[in-house]
Amino acid sequence: MSTDDLTPRPTATDGPDAFDLVLRGARVLTAAGLAPAEVGVRDGAIAAVEPLGAGLRGRRVVELGADEVLLPGLVDTHVHVNEPGRTEWEGFASATRAAAAGGVTTILDMPLNSIPPTVTVDALETKRAVAGPQAFVDVGFWGGAVPGNDGDLTPLHEAGVFGFKCFLLPSGVDEFPPLDPPEMERDMDILAGLDSLLIVHAEDAETIDAAPQPHGAAYADFLASRPRDAENRAIRAVIEAARRTGARAHILHLSSSDALPEIAAARAEGVRLTVETCPHYLTLVAEDVPDGATAYKCCPPIREAGNRDALWAALQDGTIDCVVSDHSPATVDLKQPEGGDFGVAWGGVSSLQLGLSLVWTEARSRGVDLETVVAWMSSRPAAMARVPRKGSIAVGNDADLAVFGPEDTYEAHVAELHHKNPVSPYDGKGLTGRVRATYLRGEQIDLQRPTGRLITRAG
Ligand SMILES: [Zn+2]
């Protein structure tokens, strides 16, 4: 961090009224926007936010450089950690190191791809026991809604999960089977009574079954196997069930822009629906995916350039609420099978460490400002999942912060990422904007010493 001159600059102090830490900068992003400010931290929480020049006294003082912006730590509500059971795909230590390096201070772990999946309280306790000692950022958990576990939903809710994930088609792992639409609606009914949230992988099984099966190295063939209509239909089913039950529902990883008008109409009518999309749908396009490049395979798929433009427009007009990673790695063998066969490769894109740089690089070329991008990746996902004390620089929140150099440029190299498996469609990509330091509860994160905590839903 630089120590460029900002005035005035009292030195660190030990007085009884001093904060544990004071950060000062010309560009601090609070709910009021980017402004010169001082942030005082006490006992791990933000205790004061004052205009620059207020002269807050701290035992430690960080003066931000003129080229640095202080951001709230990002909240990534869509991360597949896979531990225990598939720890060779990704684990809590590697995933949370990657998160910290990318300015993400809270992750919510998806209930599948680990063994056990998080579909019972016992399984949740197993995962918490594994995650706790090795988390470099805060970690919370989603529960899973699968056929036959409706009796587990209330106990999992009471144990602190942020909501429940379901699939409407096979998930890719046998131990996490999908719900059919009537089962989804019955679970929504239960969740409505709990004021919990159902988050849905919305692709329709019948539509996918009727589409050409994916095979071979041509990306166009893979894209044809996951038509937009599969998303459109499944999203319609989610909207109808949410309307009938009054439950809160959330569409995961929206790719098909065709669904946007129906989503907007449902929201206008009062259906309690939120929507996320991911960096890969906002930065990559089908036209540019090389044949055999299975690092780009994800479900739903990366679509055409016009679709990408429509997703950007929907973020800007508020139809899409937030941007989260859907970080879903696998081993190199599974992700990049011989011959580059899209039908065989594991689907999922790893971007936990790169998300802010990716979205910011594209956003600035589209004239979208940093405040807006950061809201999509911090306060919005925190609000969607009701993560307490996270997502904005505000008095009372945890002092989770990121120091960002918005004009820094670098090239992403997969071998330099903390992700466990070196596979990424972004390898070699030039990026603008880089996280220089990340703070968790007022302490700069040290990638050798895990200080993350396990968190539960508000209330
Ligand atoms: Zn996912």
Contact 87, 38 (CB under 8 A): no
225: CA distance to ligand 1 center in Å?
Answer: 19
Q: How far apart are CA 388 and CA 383, in angstroms?
A: 8
Question: Can you give the pLDDT at residue 11?
Answer: 60
291: CA distance to ligand 1 center in Å?
Answer: 23
H or E element at residue 256: none
328: CA distance to ligand 1 center in Å?
Answer: 6
CA–chain centroid gap for 436, Å, is 19
The highest-level CATH class for domain 73-387+418-432 is alpha beta
219: CA distance to ligand 1 center in Å?
Answer: 20
Map residue 454 onto helix, strand or coil.
Answer: strand
The per-residue DSSP string of 385-424 comes to HT-TT-SS--TTSB--EEEEEEEEEEE--GGGS-SSS---
110: CA distance to ligand 1 center in Å?
Answer: 7
The per-residue DSSP string of 108-141 comes to EE-SSSSSS-S-SHHHHHHHHHHHGGG-SSEEEE
231: CA distance to ligand 1 center in Å?
Answer: 15
259: CA distance to ligand 1 center in Å?
Answer: 19
78: CA distance to ligand 1 center in Å?
Answer: 6
327: CA distance to ligand 1 center in Å?
Answer: 7
81: CA distance to ligand 1 center in Å?
Answer: 10
Question: Can you give the pLDDT at residue 191?
Answer: 98
112: CA distance to ligand 1 center in Å?
Answer: 9
Query: What's this model's pTM, rounded to 2 decimal places?
Result: 0.96
253: CA distance to ligand 1 center in Å?
Answer: 7
351: CA distance to ligand 1 center in Å?
Answer: 12
326: CA distance to ligand 1 center in Å?
Answer: 5
Going from the C-alpha of 134 to that of each of 95, 127, 330, the distances in angstroms are: 10, 12, 20
Mean pLDDT by 10 residues, the chain (459 residues): 47 79 98 95 98 96 98 98 96 98 98 97 98 98 98 98 98 96 98 98 98 96 98 98 98 98 98 98 98 97 98 98 96 93 95 98 98 98 98 98 98 94 95 98 97 92
Q: How far apart are CA 30 and CA 142, in angstroms?
A: 28
E runs forming strands in 266-400:
273-277, 322-323
26: CA distance to ligand 1 center in Å?
Answer: 37
CA–chain centroid gap for 281, Å, is 13
432: CA distance to ligand 1 center in Å?
Answer: 26
Domain residues of the chain, as ranges? 2-66, 73-387+418-432
Question: Can you give the pLDDT at residue 31?
Answer: 85
How do beta strands 45-51 and 58-63 pair? Answer: unpaired
184: CA distance to ligand 1 center in Å?
Answer: 18
Question: Can you give the pLDDT at residue 4?
Answer: 46
Query: Which chain residues have CB less than 5 Å from ligand 1, an ion?
Result: 326, 328
454: CA distance to ligand 1 center in Å?
Answer: 20
CA-atom Rg of the chain in angstroms: 22
Question: Can you give the pLDDT at residue 16?
Answer: 73
Question: Can you give the pLDDT at residue 10?
Answer: 53
429: CA distance to ligand 1 center in Å?
Answer: 23
348: CA distance to ligand 1 center in Å?
Answer: 8
Residue 108 phi/psi, 5-degree rounding, is: -110, 125
